[in-house]
Amino acid sequence: MADVKDVDWDAVMADSRFQSLRRKKTIFLWVLMVFSMTYYFVLPLGAAYFPHVFQIKIWGVLNVGLLFALSQFVVAWAVAFCYERRASGQFDVLAKEIVVAFHQQEPRR
Amino acid sequence: MRASRAWSSVILCVISVLVALMPNVALADATVIGGEWRALTLTVFAAVIGLTIYVTYRSASHVKSAADFYAASGSISGLQNGWAIAGDYLSAASFLGIAGLIALNGYDGFMYSVGFLVAYVTVLLVIAEPCRNIGQYTLADILAYRNDPKLSRIFGALSVITVSTFYLTAQMVGGGVLVKTLIGIDYEVSVIAVGVLMLGYVIFGGMVATTWVQIIKATLLVIASIVLVMLVWVPYGFSLPDFMADVVGDPKVQARVAALLGDSSTVMTPSELGQRFLEPGLLYKMPVDQISLAMALVFGTAGLPHILMRFFTVHDAQQARKSVLWAMAIIGGFYVLTLILGFGAAHLVGPAAISAVDAGGNMAAPLLAQYLGGGRDSFWGNFMLAFVSAVAFATIVAVVAGLVLAAASAMAHDLYVGVLRAGRQVSSGQQVAAARVATLIVGAMAILIGIAAKGQNVAVLVGLAFAVAASANFPCILLTLYWRRANTAGMVAGMVVGTLVAVGLTLVSPNLTYPLQKIAAANKVLDAEQAKRTAIEAVLQNPWPQSESLIVKARAEQVALDKAIRLAQADIKKYEGQSRSFMGLKEPLISLKNPGVISIPAGFLAAILASLWIRDERARAKWSELYVRQNTGMGISKSVSH
């Protein structure tokens, strides 16, 4: 296996496979990040500005606020699960292809 | 095996000091554990500590190189690291503190705990894998990849040491108070015991031992919580609405809400008061404070050096990802359990009884354990209390060990090897020696600060650690990893501005103690006493009692009033003759309690503007290499094999 020092990083950067990985990953991470942060910050914002909504009882004495706070756990886990599926199923595979392709090349001097 | 022999003598010393102090402790202030149960308590403590020592003993002989000491040579598996991250994160503050916050303030306490899990979404998505791909042992390794190595190491290390010291001081002081409250050992002795044990783990066992101590402690913590939750919840057939109905129907909870709301509660019925416990606003009154705190939590975790360091202990990015997933499962599960623990403690023990032992509510979980085991005079009650206390003690030791290792690595790896002896060959043996010396320095410092800060208000320091991590470390790491134009100037500006704004705003915030305000508030309570007493008496003495609920409320008000008067009198005595805060201010300059909402954008802005303003050829030239490596992990094996 070639030494990392010999890898032409600019060439990898310009490679279409790497650009495709970069595009897919960037979009996916932005979507997940914006979604999870929005969902989370609705909790303190809602508690502060819409307490009357949080007070509505839904299930026995359990109100919107409590169930919404509990749903935060489910959503955080779901985001993590979603990311894991995509990362192991797609990003890892693409990254491995790139690593193999560039390590097989003759070291450039 | 020389190390292990030295190690066992250290342990013998600690245990004999503890034993020697035991007979005296019965004379100390009232503690949670009764005098006749000391032997039992000591046995449980010895068993838990013994287990962690055995593991350190086993791992001590494996620590030969710097990679072993700082990163366990990448030998930790994703599952193990997940437990260790949970162990690092579930500090005494979150384990005992959150259960207490829920028990005393209901909904707001639970809402607070949500941020601790969501923080790991940030870590998982943008931090864990790139850091593993780029870094070696420390936070500064990541910054130094593109930016000027010397400046990166100096600023990175200073920031790591700052954040760790804030967090460390809070842990040492909190831990000392906790151990004193629980088993009555003197504050100074417990600070020294925590320090010496921790130094033993870190110096002899390095990262391997620290990791295992975290794993053991996290496992015990989860087991203890599950047992308590089972005991609370089984009678309700695991029905959340039934359990909560009992909580809101509890007069102790209703009295607490009445006390928190003060005058505005007079028009509320008992069932309304109980229901109010499940609604927001009992603890956090200012919306901007909640949002600021939430920001510091979800972005600060990704910049905590002792958490970042954990990603260097696994083999590759896939294992780093797996670590975070396990950590999220464990931490999230734990905080769901604290919902039952906190509300269970409020219902079964009662907020008044909890805050009587510790005003911050830290004793909620231990007191719940004692109650569930059979009460103050039963064997199982005291056994469970001793177990929870021992786990809390192990928690403090373990978290302190992680923090000291992070600070020591910044000192030895970044400042000594990377800056002072830059460019010269430092052998692996010398590196380990430097790391051990740095550990000793940081550890001794932690003990001294812990003793010096006795009785100080340190709760603000945990918030400050998160705020600095979120405002300085997080922007610098994020921009270095993801932004093409980020460079040395931006990194330095982000670190300096983020830290100064966060610390500066905290120093002029209402978190510090302002004697004039305290005295004024106390006088107000005393002035209003007579009118309130008359009103309460009128209800109680009424020859034609109106309703049962009014009388219950009046009694609760009476208790709350008595307590408020006592506190007010104590405050007046304590602050007499003082007029200025630690910063020499008569009153806070800002009303914001957590600086995050200002300092996080300030850190980002400084880093971005300085990067755009000043050119840096190295950072530009290294961008392709860094970006390809952080995404693909190319050449990652170089980081672990030496």
The per-residue pLDDT for range A77-103, each reduced to its tens digit, is: 999 999 999 999 999 999 999 988 887
What pLDDT score was predicted for residue B640? 43
Assess B114–A contact: CB distance below 8 Å, yes or no.
yes
What pLDDT score was predicted for residue B558? 80
Q: Which helix (H) or strand (E) holds A62?
A: strand A62-63
What pLDDT score was predicted for residue B549? 67
Q: How many CB atoms lie within 10 A of CB B504?
A: 15
Q: Among B399, B489, B409, B320, which Cα is nearest to B140's?
A: B409
What pLDDT score was predicted for residue B288? 87
Chain B: residue whose CA lies nearest to A18:
B628
What would the pLDDT profile of A5-47 be if each residue is shown by its tens digit? 678 889 899 889 999 999 999 999 999 999 999 999 999 999 9
User: Residue with structure tokens 């504050």?
Assistant: B187
What pLDDT score was predicted for residue B546? 65
What pLDDT score was predicted for residue B215? 93
- Which residue did the predictor score with more confidence, B631 or A1? B631
| Residue-wise burial string across B35-49, b where 16 or more C-beta atoms lie within 10 A, e elsewhere | eebbebbbebbbebb
CA separation for the pair B167, B458 (Å, rounded): 9
DSSP line for B217-273 = HHHHHHHHHHHHHHHHHGGGTT-HHHHHHHHHT-HHHHHHHHHHHGGGGGG--HHHH
CA separation for the pair B380, B374 (Å, rounded): 6
- Binary contact (B117, A102; C-beta < 8 A): no
- The answer to whether B163 touches B465, Cβ cutoff 8 Å, is yes
Of the partner residues B248, B294, B624, the one whose CB lies closest to the CB of residue A41:
B294
Which residues in chain B touch residue A19, judged by CB atoms under 8 angstroms apart?
none
Which residues in chain B touch residue A79, judged by CB atoms under 8 angstroms apart?
121
Which residues in chain B touch residue A43, judged by CB atoms under 8 angstroms apart?
111, 114, 294
Assess B275–A contact: CB distance below 8 Å, yes or no.
yes
What pLDDT score was predicted for residue B320? 95
CA B557, B563, B564, B565 torsion-angle sign: positive
Nearest CA-CA distance, residue B238 and chain A, Å: 14
The answer, yes or no, to whether residue A104 has pLDDT greater than 70, is: no
- The answer to whether B384 touches B371, Cβ cutoff 8 Å, is no
What pLDDT score was predicted for residue B639? 43
Query: Helix or strand or coil: residue B352?
Result: helix
Which residues in chain B touch residue A74, judged by CB atoms under 8 angstroms apart?
none
Nearest CA-CA distance, residue A106 and chain B, Å: 16
- Give me the total of CB pairs closer than 8 Å, taking one residue from chain A and one from chain B: 156
What pLDDT score was predicted for residue A63? 94
Cβ neighbours of residue B201 closer than 8 Å, sequence gap 6 or more: B52, B56, B209, B210, B213, B397, B401
Which residues in chain B touch residue A7, judged by CB atoms under 8 angstroms apart?
625, 628, 634-635
ipTM exceeding cut-off 0.90 for this assembly: yes
Residues in chain B with pLDDT values less than 50: 1, 22-30, 637-642
Structural domains in chain B?
7-470 (1.20.1730)
Confidence band, pLDDT 50/70/90 cuts, at residue A109: very low
What pLDDT score was predicted for residue B337? 92
What pLDDT score was predicted for residue B17? 55
